[in-house]
Each structure stands twice: as structure tokens, then as C-alpha cells.
Amino acid sequence: MLNFSKKNILLCVTGGIAAYKSAEIIRLFKKNGADVRVVMTESAKEFITPLTLQAVSGNDIHDSLLDEKAESAMGHIELAKWADIILIAPCTAETMSKITHGRADDLMGALILASKANVYIAPAMNTNMWMDKGTQNNYQKLLSRNYTFIGPADGEQACGDVGPGRMVEPNDIIDLIISSLKNGPLANKIVTITAGPTREQIDPVRFISNNSSGKMGYSIAEAALELGATVNLVSGPVSIKADKSINLIKVNSANQMLESVMNCMSDSDIFIGCAAVSDFKPSDYSESKIKKDSADNLDIKLEKNKDILSIVSDKFPSAYVVGFAAETSNVKENAKSKLISKNLNMIISNDVSDKSIGFDVDENEVNVITKDEIIFLKRDKKIRIARNVLNTIAAQINN
């Protein structure tokens, strides 16, 4: 599994001797699938050159709050929003003090204030500096504000002193971040998700289907995995690949999807129906290919498929059940009716009359609707919409 697949990691490098290890940290993040951008403080550049980190990360280095070039490419607020995870490594005593006091007099300080991403701190300093009351006060304050500390490690330091203060080794930093992601808010939860279209066969070579690519459903599955859930993904025929850690069950028809969902739901806590399930199927299946010269007109009688979502909410009342609503008009109102008629905990509406969102594209824009509130998620990549949706579900369940 690529642990940081599609994750945006912002590495902030500050001025300590351990800065030379940041190239290795970047390499490990990239090896695990991440896109890495680097912010350097002025003093960090005394220990490792920006050129080295630019070459390893494959991206320009960000080092200035007021840099016209940087602002036109990716300004500090965009960078703060871009990051899924921020790691400050090495983090000096001065940087800890700066964050504790919310100072924004350089790019790194401003980014930390502007970002909602999880911030990990890997301190690196002389052992007496680490043990000093001022640093320890800052440490406690940052812990209480939900910053996650990695280390410092104990041992011999560059200055010859021995004790806590060394930066944790790059391999261990990466492992600790991975394991903290696995202990996310959906740890111990089993989530069953449907994705993609269904195919309702008319004869061996023809079928009724739709344009669902599976991108939204597979993103939902990845986001659930990132929050620590065990994930079953019941998928119609699509051309994208699922992460190896996802239990992928491939199906064709709505009936097969229903059967697989029922099997998974016996021990699932959450169901998310993102598939574009065909509402109708041919009443009769022709075992042999229907010949085009058998008649000038062909009538195909259709009958309704069973509604998977309604069956799940009916048969598994203790599960948290989420539907999607693909609408072309009165989007919120129609979705809200489905929330009630299908007895759901949440429904996510998307306006599929807009061809740039919804079916078979990389972005979406949705309303997350519960009985109590509507949260609008503006146009964004499907993986980011999915992360937002899953965090909302986790918050609802854990409350």
C-alpha cells in the first residue's frame, strides 16, 4: 500500500544540524506516494541547500512570505490549504516558541496559522534547551492544542551532549505518521461502499448502464481507509484500481451488487451508496445475441431494480447509512426527499446537469445533507470532497 497516496505533504525545514536529514524524509514520503512541497526558514539554508531539497522533492522551494513569484504560482494561503499534513522537521526551540505564540513574521509561521492540516513536530535541539522550562512550557501548550510530537529521541548529540533532543530518524518519523493515520477516527469501524455503474444485460453483448466512472466512490473508499476504517468496496465495472488494503468486490448487475452488499453489511458499521445503480433492468434476458434483422423495431420491457439503499437502511437500523443523490434540478429539495423516503442518516447531493462535476470527471461539488444541517462543499478534487465527507461522518458517529 502507498501510505501517502494522493496526500499533499508540506515539510517545513528549520535551522538545525538535523536539517541534512530532510532530503531523506522527502524521499521516503515520495516513495510512499506523496506530493511533497518544502518550506525553508533562512537559517535552514545554512545547513542544507534549497537546490538539494528542490531536486529531491521535484518542486520549487518556498522560503518567503512576500515573494511576488511565489504568490503568483502558489501563495502562502493556497499552500496552507493545499497541505493535507504539515511536518516540521527538524523543529528548533525557536520554532516551537514561535508557533506557541502564534507569530506570523515569516512564511512558516503564517502557514501554520492559516492551515487546518494536522501538524506533526519533530523537535531537534541541544538536550539542555529541550529540558529548559520555557521549551517544556511551549511543548505542553502545543500538545494541548493537538499538535502531534514525534520525539525528540534520546542519545548522543552533534554537540557531544547526551540526552533527549535528537531528531527522530527519518524512517521512524514516516512510520509514526503512518501509524497515527491508522489510529484515525474510524479505527475499528467497518465501512461498506458501493461505486461505479451497474450493467443490466439485455443479451450476452448488450446492456443498460450509465457514465459513472467510479472516481467518487473509490475516493470515498480511500478517504475511509485513511481515517483507519476497514473498507469493503462493492464496485460495478470501472477502469480504476483500488488500494490493495481495500476489500474489493467486483459485480456487474444491481442484483449482484445487492447480494454482495448484504453479505458485507452483517458486520458493517457504515454504508455509503455512491454507485449509480441502474433503476431498471430488462425483464427478460436473451441467452443468445438478438439478431438485428429479426425485426425493424425492438421493444425491451424493463422492470424496476430493488433499491439497495432503502433495503440497507431497513434491514440494518444500527448502521449509519449514507446515500448520494444525482440530481439535475431542485437539487437540495430532491435530495432531502430521498433522505427522508429512504430513511438515511445523510445524503450527498450533486448537480449532474453540470458536466464539469459529478459523472466521469475528477471534481465534484456537493451538499452534505442531514436532518439537522446542510454543509456545502465547493468544487474540489473528488478525493478532497471525499475526505471532507468522511470527516463529517466520523464526527457525527463519534458524537
Q: Which of 15, 66, 63, 69 has its CA nearest to residue 37?
A: 63
At a CB cut-off of 8 Å and minimum separation 6, what does 200 contact?
207, 208, 209, 253, 254, 278, 280, 281, 282, 305
- Smallest distance, ligand PMT to C-beta of residue 214, A: 5
Q: Could you list the residues that contact ligand PMT (CB under 6 A)?
A: 194, 196, 212-217, 254, 273-277, 279, 305, 307-309, 323-326, 338, 350, 352, 358-360
- Smallest distance, ligand PMT to C-beta of residue 367, A: 12
Closer residue to ligand PMT (CB): 50 or 282? 282
- Smallest distance, ligand PMT to C-beta of residue 338, A: 6
Closer residue to ligand PMT (CB): 38 or 321? 321
- Smallest distance, ligand PMT to C-beta of residue 215, A: 4
- Smallest distance, ligand PMT to C-beta of residue 197, A: 7
Closer residue to ligand PMT (CB): 154 or 360? 360
- Taking the mean position of all CA atoms in its chain, how far away is CA 2? 13
159 a catalytic residue: yes
- Smallest distance, ligand PMT to C-beta of residue 299, A: 23
Closer residue to ligand PMT (CB): 161 or 360? 360
Residue corresponding to grid cell 501554520 = 112
- Smallest distance, ligand PMT to C-beta of residue 7, A: 20
Closer residue to ligand PMT (CB): 95 or 194? 194
Cα–Cα distance between 295 and 292 in angstroms, integer?
7
Cα–Cα distance between 89 and 111 in angstroms, integer?
15
Closer residue to ligand PMT (CB): 100 or 305? 305
Closer residue to ligand PMT (CB): 14 or 213? 213
Closer residue to ligand PMT (CB): 80 or 254? 254
Order of all β-strands in the sheet with 374-381: 247-250, 230-235, 190-195, 270-273, 320-327, 346-351, 363-369, 374-381
| Given 12, 91, 159, 264, the catalytic residue | 159
Hey, what's the cell of 126?
541541544
- Smallest distance, ligand PMT to C-beta of residue 8, A: 21
At a CB cut-off of 8 Å and minimum separation 6, what does 192 contact?
231, 232, 234, 261, 264, 265, 268, 270, 271, 272
Give, to the nearest 10 degrees, the angle between helix 22-31 and helix 50-57.
10
Residues with a catalytic annotation lie at: 159
